[in-house]
């Protein structure tokens, strides 16, 4: 059973933008170093200003990224990741993230994330570009 679950996670990760550049052995190691957590509806994954403990990957379900006023900035689902901005920029989270449908989230620890960004240039470039894109969108939202 565990082997089937692990290989289904490898398949799921291969569909995550940026992760397709990682080979199967690296993905298996990543799964072994990460935690898969199940979150009920309404759970707060993290709060604005809180410290970052890892990169979150949505395996199943949906989460909302919330503005300070509680409005939804983004809805993320299977194959999306979040938390990279805090990890890369070394600051607290910019937004609250709340679970909208029962969700399975894979949490890649900060240390493993840093190792991947440093050792896998294509992965690092993609994640940095995504973080910069989100930072620009965040700035535009704040100015509006």
CATH number of the domain bearing residue 97: 2.60.120.10
Give the predicted TM-score (pTM) of the model.
0.90
Q: What is the pLDDT of residue 59?
A: 96
What does the pLDDT read at residue 91? 87
- In this prediction, residue 8 carries a pLDDT of 85
pLDDT at 103: 98
CA dihedral for 132, 135, 139, 144, sign (positive or negative): positive
What does the chain come to in residues? 144
Residue 112 has pLDDT above 50, yes or no: yes
Sign, CA dihedral 112-40-81-144, equals negative
Domains identified in the chain, total number: 1
- Residue 56 in contact with residue 30, Cβ under 8 Å? no
* 48 domain-assigned: yes
Tell me the helix, strand and coil percentages in the chain, rounded to 5.
Answer: 45, 30, 25
Contact between 29 and 85 (Cβ < 8 Å):
no
Which domain covers residue 102, as residue numbers?
34-143
CA atoms 17, 48, 86, 116: torsion sign: negative
Indicate the pLDDT class of residue 138, thresholds 50, 70 and 90.
Answer: confident
């Amino acid at each position: 059973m565990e082997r089937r679950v692990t290989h289904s996670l490898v398949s799921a990760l291969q569909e995550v933008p940026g992760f397709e550049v990682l080979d199967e052995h690296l993905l298996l190691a990543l799964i072994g170093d990460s935690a898969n957590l199940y979150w009920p509806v309404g759970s707060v994954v993290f709060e604005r200003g809180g410290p970052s403990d890892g990169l979150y990957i949505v395996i199943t379900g949906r989460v909302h990224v919330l503005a300070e006023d509680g409005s939804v900035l983004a809805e993320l689902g299977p194959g999306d990741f979040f938390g990279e901005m805090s990890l890369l920029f070394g600051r607290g989270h910019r937004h609250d993230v709340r679970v909208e449908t029962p969700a399975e989230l894979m949490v890649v620890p900060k240390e493993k994330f840093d190792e991947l960004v440093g050792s896998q240039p294509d992965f690092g470039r993609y994640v940095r570009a995504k973080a910069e894109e989100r930072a620009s969108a965040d700035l535009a939202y704040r100015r509006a």
